[in-house]
Amino acid sequence: MKNNRHFLTLLENHHFFRSIIENEDFSKIDLHGMIYTNELGFIYNFKNIEVGEHIFKNVEVYTSPHITIVTMLTDEIAFFDEPVLYFDQEGYVFETEPYMIDSVPVPEIRRKLSTFQMLGRTTRLSIYKSTVYSCMVKFSFPNASKIKEMMDNLDF
């Protein structure tokens, strides 16, 4: 089996992704010249982000005090079909509930990988495949201390 963390290394060394993961916001990113939209102040959609030789047609970044989620859309199905090549693990595959588009069900398949460390943060990773968007790579970076603080303050 080929052991290749190359894609994760590319993300860790990419200024845009590194800054979002480490800072949990856009404070250290120069957005000038980037094509993006801002929704509700905490969701950003960026167009045509290059990571090495890979092009992501849309990158959505959601930030909150409790979690950062990065969702990357690409036409490269190999991320789903060959996860060991990119993430050094197979994960497990299951079909999710289909989307409905014009009353027609559109199936979606999800590959869930185990958690791992990225730039000192625990991340969860899922890869999705669909005829609608091709391939979606989704990272979530929960802020463990903020979640613990929130849970400690709940009154049951």
Domain ranges of the chain: 6-152
Instruction: Write out the E strands in 1-42.
Output: 36-39
What does the pLDDT profile of the chain (156 residues) look like in tens digits?
344 457 888 999 999 999 999 888 888 888 888 999 998 888 999 999 999 999 999 999 999 888 999 999 999 999 999 999 999 889 999 988 887 888 888 889 999 998 888 898 889 999 999 988 999 999 999 887 665 665 566 666
Which residue bears the tokens 């197979």? Answer: 90
| pLDDT for residue 6 | 77
d(CA 65, CA 143): 7
Q: Contact 107/129 with Cβ under 8 angstroms? A: no
Strands 121-130 and 104-118: antiparallel
d(CA 1, CA 126): 21
Q: Could you give the dihedral angle defined by the CA atoms of residues 105, 54, 90 and 115, in that order, rounded to the nearest 10 degrees?
A: -100
Q: List alpha helices for the chain, DSSP H.
A: 6-13, 15-23, 78-81, 83-87, 144-152
Give the CA distances from residue 150 to residues 35, 115, 143, 145, in Å, rounded to whole numbers and listed in that order: 35, 22, 11, 9
Taking the model in full, what pTM does it have?
0.86
The secondary structure element, H or E, covering residue 6 is: helix 6-13
